Amino acid sequence: MEQVPHIALFCQENRPAIPYAFSKYLLPIVVRYLADQNNQVRKTSQAALLALLEQELIERFDVETKVCPVLVGLTAPDSTDDVKTEAVAIMCRMAPMVGKDITERLILPRFCEMCCDCRMFHVRKVCAANFGDICSVVGQQATEEMLLPRFFQLCSDNVWGVRKACAECFMAVSCATCQEIRRTKLSALFINLISDPSRWVRQAAFQSLGPFISTFANPSSSGQYFKEESKSSEDASVEDKNRTRDQEAPEDVQIRPEDAPAEPAAGPPRVELEGTLKDGTENPRRPPGEAAALVGSSVLCAWSSEPPQEAAGDEKDRKPGHSRSASRLEEPGLLDQEYNSFHFWRTPLPEIDLDMELGQGSGSPLGPEGPGAAPQVSVPGSASLTMATRKELEELIENLEPHVDDPDVRAQVDVLAAALRASSLDACDEPGEAARRSPVQDEPAAGELPGCGLSHEASVPLISDAVEDVDSALCYMRHDPDLGSDGGFSPDEERRPRVQDVVPQALLDQYLSMTDPSRAQTVDTEIAKHCAYSLPGVALTLGRQNWHCLRETYETLASDMQWKVRRTLAFSIHELAVILGDQLTAADLVPIFNGFLKDLDEVRIGVLKHLHDFLKLLHVDKRREYLYQLQEFLVTDNSRNWRFRAELAEQLILLLELYSPRDVYDYLRPIALSLCADKVSSVRWISYKLVSEMVRKLHRAAPPSFGVDLIHELVENFGRCPRWSGRQAFVFVCQTVIEDDCLPMDQFALHLMPHLLTLANDRVPNVRVLLAKTLRQTLLEKEYFSASASCHQEAVEQTIVALQMDRDSDVKYFASTHPAGTRISEDALSTASSTY
């Protein structure tokens, strides 16, 4: 059986000569030994079958007629326990390889039966462990109709091992269902697993909680917006496949949250960057500050969980330029005219029925779209107040009265009392008053709440003074329009309760409780690490407008006593910065980032590996502050930790683009030259690349004096170094500059080549060997030096002739016309470190 896959591959390669050999002779042997009495034979045959399926050596017809019937037969009630369990496992593992059609017809019915195997919990456990894979293969319809009932049974199984397996695959199952089922049914089921009597089940559930929350993400709530002028998507990918990944949405389609794809697309979050619609109409875009949701389970939401289908008449009235894309872009010139300050968080209104039909476009961000566009939801001020009855306003005032000591709350109470008095004027308003209503209110039934007892005719605005008072009283909770695309929050907004409407609040509350010290005692000692691991995915799901829900949790994790927790955050802080935008990053992440810079090396390496990714998101002035701290990365707890310095060199190459030539020369140059003299060759080799890129940047700067000064310093510190390793490093730098075209060849010949050629008389053979390689394999490949008219050709040829007559045989060899060597960059890495 161990030889069968190799023989099958041979048959495939020689198929014209032996077309049916595998199907006729080998496959029956594999299938027969799946039921062998010996355990080792069965295991080997199972491995052989999977290998054959993975390499696509088994025809589809043979899978249907020879493999699947045998596996289904092995799961019959009269089969032995071990054979039945192994057969179910092999069926689950082969499902992704054979595809949806075969799985639904031949595997799924028997899999559902095995989920209810009352006699053997081992079979049910295998089914539970592979449930997510089966769901992802058969798709949403089959999952909801056939598999979910079985999954509910397995989650309440008497054996804790089965329930634990269900908790571990919960995210994959959730991805295969629609948003409504995920919210209404799976959430409650998951809460049961989190409160399971078994500690092992609770442990698995808490590990899956963050990934499960991430399945609620959709483009309209994730808060990812992109500036069109940058033409680049913000990378929010995170450390594992469970991290939330956004889906692309067409510009002119209204996305319903429950219709968003359940299976996350591979790769980082992306959004279509199109400036025009299919009909060529320019698409006005609004800043993400407009996509604000109102707090609490009893308030108006910026997007309904189930927006109604748009009427045909509304579709005609809407201008083609007003798209309902779930992900918006900012467009220069449209920001100021499109922005609306009516986007804010406010105190929840009590007991208002949310089962309502909003107007068209309720799935997109708030904001007026000009004439001809229907409003998204009711706006604050007059419109929202006239929808509330006197009784509800009175209850709201009663709820606020215990907190009247707060000046802000007191101001709200006064304004609401004035609004209550003003609302009594609605019934006796003159007909002419209705004609002066704003365009937002003229739209029929837009944002009208059933059960409030007010008809459209009665929905007239309050007096203008009351409207202005409401606006001023609630302004401290609004998004500041000056913050633009970053959705920043004022300090007073930090006092908002940690509630949102993206995921069920019970799930979020359980996630936030993972930092509770008691959880480490009752659930898992590493539960805080799991919380930190999935936090970027949860933050992406909630969106930056709900960052206030996670801020305190993030700060708690950042100060956790376990360095593994802080290390996890350090490795993902750059991804969180992309999600939050530069305003929230500067306010909440920069202080934590600064703390990580002074932490243990195990934590600092996480920051260092993504230093460029984080710094590029900061404002230029803030970014320059870190120039003074880069030198500190040269100091580590353990001097043998050379990989730390190698990573620093890699990051400095990327950081060159973020800083001015003067900053590069003043701050990055000393670090680069220090790394070029490192004791470890791997660090030095990366540093040669760093220095060559630095030469390129400084030479292109105006004036190029920084580049000339750097070259002179290289000559003095390395070209004339008393140590042979320093002179060898100078040759390496010259070789890299030539290969990567960091300098025009005429400038290289002027500043570097004379000093390079003087090393032909170096007393150390290793330096002369490297020089011979550089001249023969790199320098003479450049047309500038190979052309007969070049004034530098003679000097190069004389040096090569001298090297060909060298007393060292290796120098002679590499200076020969056609040495049997490789390029210097390859050869240097493959030669003993004692030489290079």
Q: Which string of DSSP letters, residue by residue, matches 542-596?
A: H-GGGGGGTHHHHHHHHT-S-HHHHHHHHHHHHHHHHHHHHHHIIIIIHHHHHHH
In the predicted model, is pLDDT for residue 445 greater than 70? no
- Rounded to a whole number of angstroms, the distance between the first and last alpha carbons of the chain is 49
Letter for the amino acid at 456? H
The answer for residues whose C-beta is within 8 angstroms of residue 43's C-beta and 6 or more apart is: none
In the predicted model, is pLDDT for residue 479 greater than 70? no
Which of 569, 554, 632, 644 lies closest to 598, judged by CA? 632
In the predicted model, is pLDDT for residue 487 greater than 80? no
Q: Could you tell me the pLDDT band of residue 538, with boundaries at 50, 70 and 90? A: very high
Q: Could you tell me the pLDDT band of residue 128, with boundaries at 50, 70 and 90? A: very high
CB 112 within 8 A of CB 88: no
Q: Could you tell me the pLDDT band of residue 407, with boundaries at 50, 70 and 90? A: low
Structure-token pair, residue 622: 């803030």
In the predicted model, is pLDDT for residue 279 greater than 50? no
User: What pLDDT, in 10s, does the model give residues 547-574?
Assistant: 999 999 999 999 999 999 999 999 999 9
> For 599-604, what is the mean pLDDT?
93
User: What pLDDT, in 10s, does the model give residues 693-715?
Assistant: 999 999 988 777 899 999 999 99
Mean pLDDT across the chain, nearest whole number? Answer: 74
Cis-peptide into 703, omega within 30 deg = yes
By CB neighbour count within 10 A (0-12 exposed, 13-18 middle, 19+ buried), where does 222 fall?
buried
Q: What is the DSSP letter of 372?
A: T
User: What pLDDT, in 10s, does the model give residues 303-322?
Assistant: 333 333 333 333 334 333 33
In the predicted model, is pLDDT for residue 59 greater than 70? yes
By CB neighbour count within 10 A (0-12 exposed, 13-18 middle, 19+ buried), where does 469 fall?
buried
More confident residue, 174 or 362: 174
DSSP one-letter string for 132-164: HHHHHHH-HHHIIIIIHHHHHHHHT-SSHHHHH
Q: Lowest-pLDDT range, 18-22, 278-282, 348-352, 544-548?
A: 278-282
| pLDDT at position 255 | 36
Percent of the chain with pLDDT over 70: 64
| pLDDT at position 778 | 86
Structure-token pair, residue 726: 């320093």
What whole-number distance in Å separates Cα of residue 3 and Cα of residue 118? 38
Which of 401, 396, 369, 376 lies closest to 385, judged by CA? 396
Structure-token pair, residue 188: 């409650």
DSSP one-letter string for 321-359: T----SS-EE-TTTHHHH--S--B--PPPTT--------
What whole-number distance in Å separates Cα of residue 790 and Cα of residue 801? 18
Which of 372, 376, 369 lies closest to 319, judged by CA? 372
Degrees (nearest 5) of the Cα angle 527, 265, 147?
Answer: 70
Letter for the amino acid at 248? E
The answer for residues whose C-beta is within 8 angstroms of residue 156's C-beta and 6 or more apart is: 163, 192
In the predicted model, is pLDDT for residue 401 greater than 90? no
CB 239 within 8 A of CB 571: yes
User: What pLDDT, in 10s, does the model give residues 606-645?
Assistant: 999 999 999 999 999 999 999 988 988 988 888 888 999 9
Q: Could you tell me the pLDDT band of residue 783, with boundaries at 50, 70 and 90? A: confident
The answer for residues whose C-beta is within 8 angstroms of residue 497's C-beta and 6 or more apart is: 295, 296
Letter for the amino acid at 775? L
DSSP one-letter string for 382-431: HHHHHTS-HHHHHHHHHHHGGGTTSHHHHHHHHHHHHHHHHHTTSTT--H
User: What pLDDT, in 10s, does the model give residues 750-765?
Assistant: 899 899 999 999 999 9
The answer for residues whose C-beta is within 8 angstroms of residue 393's C-beta and 6 or more apart is: 385, 416, 419, 420, 423
CB 473 within 8 A of CB 412: yes
What whole-number distance in Å separates Cα of residue 258 and Cα of residue 180? 6
Structure-token pair, residue 25: 């002779």
Neighbours of 820 (CB within 10 A): 7
Q: Could you tell me the pLDDT band of residue 212, with boundaries at 50, 70 and 90? A: very high
Q: Which of 19-33, 285-299, 659-673 has the highest mean pLDDT?
A: 659-673
In the predicted model, is pLDDT for residue 54 greater than 60? yes
* 3-state SS class at 58: coil
What whole-number distance in Å separates Cα of residue 712 and Cα of residue 700? 16
More confident residue, 578 or 434: 578
CB 367 within 8 A of CB 340: yes
| pLDDT at position 576 | 95
Tokens 């077309």 sit on residue: 19
In the predicted model, is pLDDT for residue 383 greater than 50? no
> For 781-803, what is the mean pLDDT?
78
In the predicted model, is pLDDT for residue 90 greater than 90? yes
Q: Could you tell me the pLDDT band of residue 404, with boundaries at 50, 70 and 90? A: low
| pLDDT at position 425 | 52
Letter for the amino acid at 585? T
In the predicted model, is pLDDT for residue 175 greater than 80? yes
In the predicted model, is pLDDT for residue 420 greater than 90? no
Letter for the amino acid at 584? L
Q: What is the DSSP letter of 769?
A: H
- 240 phi, psi to nearest 5 deg: -140, 175
What whole-number distance in Å separates Cα of residue 376 and Cα of residue 323? 12
Degrees (nearest 5) of the Cα angle 193, 197, 199?
Answer: 85
What whole-number distance in Å separates Cα of residue 813 and Cα of residue 799? 14
What whole-number distance in Å separates Cα of residue 134 and Cα of residue 143? 9
Tokens 């990944």 sit on residue: 245
What whole-number distance in Å separates Cα of residue 742 and Cα of residue 736? 8
| Interstrand relation of 329-330 and 226-227 (parallel, antiparallel or unpaired) | parallel
CB 808 within 8 A of CB 769: yes
pTM > 0.85: no
CB 57 within 8 A of CB 102: no
Containing H/E element for 727? Answer: helix 724-739
By CB neighbour count within 10 A (0-12 exposed, 13-18 middle, 19+ buried), where does 789 fall?
exposed
Q: Could you tell me the pLDDT band of residue 480, with boundaries at 50, 70 and 90? A: very low
In the predicted model, is pLDDT for residue 267 greater than 60? no
- 765 phi, psi to nearest 5 deg: -60, -35
> Residue 367: left if φ>0, alpha if ψ -120 to 50, beta else—which one?
left
User: What pLDDT, in 10s, does the model give residues 710-733?
Assistant: 999 999 999 999 999 999 999 999
Structure-token pair, residue 665: 């020369």
In the predicted model, is pLDDT for residue 381 greater than 70? no
CA torsion, ordered 591, 595, 601, 606, to nearest 10 deg: -20
